[in-house]
Chain A
Amino acid sequence: MSGKIIKVAGPLVVADGLADANVSDVVRVGHQHLIGEILNMTGDRASIQVYEETTGLGPGAEVVTTGAPLSVELGPGMLEGIYDGIQRPLTEIRELTGSTIARGIDVPALNRTKRWEFKPTVKPGAELVEGDIIGTVQETSAIEHRILVPNGISGKVKTIEEGFFTVEDTVCVLERDGKEIPLTMMQKWPVRVNRPYKKKFMPDRPLQSGQRIVDTMFPIAKGGTAAIPGPFGSGKTVMQHALAKWSDVDIVVYIGCGERGNEMTDVLMEFPELIDPHTGEPLMKRTVLIANTSDMPVAAREASIYTGITIAEYFRDMGYDVAVIADSTSRWAEALREMSGRLEEMPGEEGYPAYLASRIAQFYERAGVVECKGADGRRGSLTAIGAVSPPGGDISEPVSQATMRITKVFWGLDSALAYARHFPAINWLNSYSLYLDYLKPWYEKNFPGFMENRNKAMSILQEEANLNEIVRLVGADSLAPNEQLTLATAKMIREDFLQQNSFVDIDSYSETERQFMLMNLIIEFDKLARAAVANGVELEKLVNIPAKEKIGRAKTVPANQYKAEYTQIGEEMRRQIEEASMGGEDA
């Protein structure tokens, strides 16, 4: 079935003669076969958003529908790869067309010639239902790719073969009602449809990111959702990269949506070099990259978010913990706005379409802890973390507001902190995590006292903010010694704990136990010093003990020494505070 173009306006093309096409079908436009998607139909007239530049298209050019919605190919070969917004492999495109991306390129997402070693996990005669694992492929040294029975298919295994196969080869044949169903290692799934699962659960395990302000102060659960809004230069991308690097999940899908090209290059260069502290393998081995940089066509930006989360759901269905990190969802919303404007829809707030909030909600709701399809009851989780780039850093705008309504964790970046080079520049006073209660049992079981310390630290920081108001009015001298101690402790929490340098190897990742021990030192210092101050000991003596300066440098103690070192600092601190209290000289 083919139609003819009657109008071209940027990425929007209108064609008639497409009575047989469906809304959301993928179409091929013009002699270059540009990829597009049908947004609306009026009679036999279709409005199409084209995912490539439409230069050179004019009325009369042919439009052919493929009869299928925008889909991704799912199977071995996605990890370590970099795709554009509609899952075209950028590394292979580079081999074909050099440094720039020419139009109308048609490269399959999964390599058709590469042979993967397939190891069956079921035997002929087994009864299988949708979602059951039929076998595995060691896709990278870090990840075992589990091959699933596609949704809607079940039956008894007739044959299954071990050996090296391409993604299109039949590896298994199911039999049902006398009919044979061949299975390959690849399946397709429409990106705008959620992949099904059996059941959703409340999240109860933390995602340990190795970032102190996240894990200790505002933790996110595996299967949770988080938003990182902030003005430019406040460190959104560095934070997103840090989460992609160090989170203790099995798979990371990183979506660069309308952002800088060099940031994707950075990930491409850096991740193969960095070692995942949880598996000992290079980080790239567990990473899938989706890149629609800001100079790439705007319509594909809208699709990139869905492409990314569908791939993530597929890995979740294997029973993995997956994190989707999207930078930035604002660019995605702007792409929606641009298409909406060209479709001449009635604008909502700030020109965004009225369906903006529901689209954002749909995206984040695809996160969660689930019991996967299949008979074995395995669980997977999908965590969604999105950056938001509010114009002028003002989060009263529609994208930030719609995102905050749906996400449970809010890491608010602050330009004042960034100017003072306090990184990560997450403002501890306005950020929040609604997972604290869900995660409390886990923390209490593994690190008794963790939450108490955390709450104590938060109240000290809150009190610091109040005291600073007074200091600004009447000066620090007017504060009582215990209040001045609060300021000193708050400074320790800020500088010695919350500040974390992503560009220093030792500091870029901090395991949860280490965070716990470090916070313990600070809180204990506060407690002991407070008791001493109450007994009339001079504050000056207490804050000048050598152990306090050691706490200040504790971040840089190598990972294999910190336990002994922190224990020792603790002992020194207790002794020195005691000596200071007795009026003795520092030892």
Chain B
Amino acid sequence: MIKEYKTIHEIASPLMIVEQVEGVTYDELCEIQLPDGSLRRGKVLEVNGDKAVIQLYESAAGINLAESKVRFLGHPLELAVSEDMLGRVFNGMGQPIDGGPEILAEAHLDINGLPMNPAARAYPAEFIQTGVSTIDGLNTLVRGQKLPIFSGSGLPHANLAAQIARQAKVPGDEGKFAVVFAAIGITFEESEFFVQEFKRTGAIDRTVMFSNLADEPAVERISTPRMALTAAEYLAFEKDMHVLVILTDITNYAEALREISAAKKEVPGRRGYPGYLYTDLATMYERAGRRLGKPGSITMIPILTMPEDDKTHPIPDLTGYITEGQIILSRELHRKGIVPPVDVLPSLSRLKDKGIGAGKTREDHAGVLNQLFAAYAAGKDAKELMTILGESALSETDKHYAAFAEAFEQKYVNQGNEVDRSIEETLTIGWELLRMLPRSELKRIKPEYIEKYLPEK
């Protein structure tokens, strides 16, 4: 018999205080029944004697202090999971919103998950070919990696994410795959873009969507990504699928977190975000990965828009400290019409080294990658110098580098959203570009590979 309390003392959305409670525990889920019979949910943030502080997951509008009833359910917020979730659309609380039937649950899982034992992780080392040169060739993605896209307002991150979702494959592996997509506080149009994209490619039947749009309550954004990750964990580690999780937009998530933190009157950290933002983000991002003895995997692509394109803003900054690299989009390249406008130099994949080379991509991959990076960096420096002093001030070598940087952007980066390049094509384009430089500058590639892949004409 579950007790009902009609002792709500205070509501200051998203917080609510209930008094005279008994046996309530931390993090427990509770239901609030409104006079009209509708239900809202919340979780226990703090219990102090007979007083419980509750954080509402949904809007507080319409809750009446005297008439509403509160029930504590004795377990944290859970998601009903089954394989039938594929092809369905849910709201941020895990309820179906596509008009279809309720999910016949195989299990109810705590949406917070459990920390993964580092001794039980399998190190991600399987090359994923995304067909995008700047990723495959320079910032290689591997199965089980978390690789965010750092974007800015008005940059085409959605197109790039959709392109990756469409083209990503592990060469020679036909394992079961699924996409889990969480729309966190984004607009209908942005969300619909992904839906149309998944429909166009037929991936929609293998997609689970969790949707919390911009006009829905901000507090629901706290649970949306966790719902998505719980579904992803279930599909990956119970059903052995390779799951690609796209979370967009993490900035909206962090803002919702800040809103709740402010309501709780916590000491704010940088820019008003709570001091535990790092830990909070980490408990989501770290759910990506592979586990020993399990064939499935979770590869995560969170998308975030950097306020003022500032990489040192707390959201991208803390994300970068947790994720295994980042793909950064550049406004400058976007203006130049380069598609996708990936800013190669500050982008990074930390797991690339174990995912490339002979047997995975090709023996010369590491050398070409390092050489392209170094040459592009030198080329950009040279171009900068050129704008100040004019071309005549450059040395012969610097002129080569400046020309290289320009060609690199046009041929290597600018491939468009529809072109799907194999890793061999990407490497070949890389070699063709390196031909523009004097051979003595190619110090980062083993001489035998230069002989083999760049024979002197």
Q: A262-B124, A295-B286 are in contact. Are A8 and B116 (CB under 8 A)?
A: no
Q: Does B302 contact A (CB under 8 A)?
A: no
Q: Determine the chain A residues whose CB is within 8 A of the CB of B322 once the complex forms.
A: 260, 294
What is the size, in residues, of chain A's interface with B at 8 Å between Cβ atoms?
A: 78
User: B325 within 8 Å of A by Cβ?
Assistant: yes
Say yes or no: A476 contacts B393, CB within 8 Å.
yes
- Contact call B237/A334, Cβ cutoff below 8 A: no
Question: Judging by beta carbons under 8 Å apart, are A8 and B47 in contact?
Answer: yes
Interface segment among A50-58, A185-193, A510-518: the answer is A50-58
What is the minimal beta-carbon distance from A230 to any residue of chain B, in angstroms?
Answer: 11
**B252 → chain A, closest Cβ, in Å?**
21
Does A94 count as interface, using CB distance less than 8 angstroms?
Answer: yes
Question: In the complex, A90 Cα to B119 Cα: how many Å?
Answer: 6
Beta-carbon contact of B326 and A233 below 8 Å: yes
Contact assessment for A82 and B377 in the assembled complex, using a CB-CB cutoff below 8 Å: no
Q: Is B128 an interface residue (CB 8 A)?
A: no
Across the interface, do A100 and B351 meet the contact criterion of CB distance under 8 Å?
no
Could you tell me which residues of chain B, from 17 to 39, have a CB within 8 Å of some CB in chain A?
23-28
Is B267 in contact with chain A by the CB < 8 A criterion?
yes
Which residues of B in the span 382-412 have a Cβ within 8 Å of any Cβ on A? Answer: 385, 388-389, 392-395
Q: Chain B 286-306 against A: per-residue CB contact (8 Å), 1 yes, 0 no?
A: 110101101000000000000
A293 at the interface (CB under 8 A from B): yes
B-contact 0/1 string along A380-417, CB 8 Å cutoff: 00000000010111100000000000000000000100
A111, B68: Cα distance in complex, Å: 55
Q: Give A268-306 as 1s and 0s: 1 = Cβ < 8 Å from B's Cβ atoms.
A: 110000000000000000000001011111100000000
Q: Does residue A553 face the partner (Cβ distance < 8 Å to B)?
A: yes
Q: CB distance A91 to B119 under 8 Å? A: yes
Chain A, 63-103, CB within 8 A of any chain B CB: 82, 90-91, 93-94, 97-102
Which residues of B from 55 to 80 have beta carbons under 8 Å from A? 76
The contact of A298 among B24, B124, B279, B377, by CB within 8 Å, is B279
Residues 442-497 of A contacting B (Cβ, < 8 Å): 471-472, 474-477, 495
Indicate with 1 or 0, residue by residue over B344-373, a CB within 8 angstroms of chain A CB atoms. Answer: 011010110110000000000010001001
Contact A391 B317 (CB under 8 A): yes
Q: Is the interface of B mostly helix, strand, loop or mixed?
A: mixed
Whether B115 pairs with A268 at a CB distance below 8 angstroms is: no
A350-B269 contact given A8-B25, A60-B23, CB 8 Å threshold: yes
Give complex CA distance A90, B292 in Å. 14
Let me know if A125 is at the binding interface, CB within 8 A. Answer: no
| Docked CA distance A321–B312 (Å) | 39
A58 to B24, CA, bound (A): 6
A472 and B377 in contact, given A56-B27, A58-B25, A298-B276 (Cβ under 8 angstroms): no
Taken together as a complex, chains A and B put the C-alpha atoms of A495 and B123 apart, in Å, by 31
| In the assembled complex, A347 has its CB within 8 A of some CB on chain B | yes
Query: Once the chains bind, are A474 and B389 in contact (CB under 8 Å)?
Result: yes
Q: Which of B49, B112, B118, B377 contacts A6 (CB 8 A)?
A: B49
Interface status of A535 (Cβ within 8 A of chain B): no
What distance in Å separates the Cβ of A327 from its nearest Cβ neighbour in chain B? 11
Contact B112 A55 (CB under 8 A): yes
Residue among A418, A421, A476 with most chain B CB within 10 A? A421
Chain B contacts of A101 at CB under 8 A?
114-117
What CA separation (Å) do A55 and B113 show in the bound complex?
12
Q: Which A residues are in CB contact (< 8 Å) with B276?
A: 298, 334, 338
Least distance between A296 CB and chain B CB atoms (Å): 5
Determine if A341 is an interface residue (Cβ-Cβ < 8 Å): yes
Contact count A vs B, C-beta below 8 Å? 217
CA of A291 to CA of B115, assembled, Å = 12
B24 with A7: CB separation less than 8 A: no
Known: A99-B291, A351-B267, A420-B373. A295 touches B116 (CB 8 A): yes
* Chain B min CB distance to A227 (Å): 17
Contact across chains for B275 and A338 when beta carbons are under 8 A apart: yes
User: In the complex, A60 Cα to B21 Cα: how many Å?
Assistant: 12
Most chain B beta carbons < 10 A, residue from A55, A101, A394: A55
Tell me the complex Cα distance, A55–B46, Å. Answer: 11
Q: Which chain A residue shows the least CB distance to B319?
A: A232
Nearest-CB residue, chain B, relative to A7:
B48
Q: For the complex, what is the distance from the CA of A472 to the CA of B378, rounded to whole Å? A: 14
| Pair B24/A296 contact, Cβ less than 8 Å | no
Note all chain B residues with C-beta closer than 8 A to A60: 23
Does the CB pair B320–A102 fall under 8 Å?
Answer: no
CA distance A331 to B322 in the complex (A): 11
The residue that A7 contacts in the complex, of B47, B318, B389, B393, with Cβ under 8 A, is B47
For A585, list chain B residues within 8 Å (CB). Answer: none
Give bound CA distance, A102 to B326, whole Å: 31
Docked-complex contact B45 and A295, CB < 8 angstroms: no
Cβ-defined contact, A392 with B346, below 8 A? no
Q: Kindly identify which residue among B286, B353, B389, B440 contacts A503, using a CB–CB cutoff of 8 Å.
A: B353
| Least Cβ–Cβ distance between B140 and chain A, in angstroms | 13
13 A-B contact pairs sorted by A residue (CB < 8 Å): A54-B27, A55-B25, A58-B28, A90-B117, A256-B118, A265-B119, A293-B116, A295-B283, A338-B279, A347-B267, A351-B269, A422-B374, A476-B393
Residues of B within 8 A of A (CB): 23-28, 45-50, 76, 110, 112-124, 144, 237, 266-270, 275-276, 278-279, 282-283, 285-287, 289, 291-292, 294, 311-314, 317-318, 320-322, 324-326, 345-346, 348, 350-351, 353-354, 366, 370, 373-374, 377-378, 385, 388-389, 392-395, 440, 443, 446-447
Given contacts A6-B48, A55-B25, 6 further A-B contacts (CB under 8 A): A7-B48, A10-B46, A55-B27, A56-B28, A57-B26, A100-B113
Closest 10 CB pairs of A and B: A392-B312, A294-B282, A475-B393, A58-B25, A100-B114, A295-B286, A232-B320, A420-B377, A55-B27, A264-B118
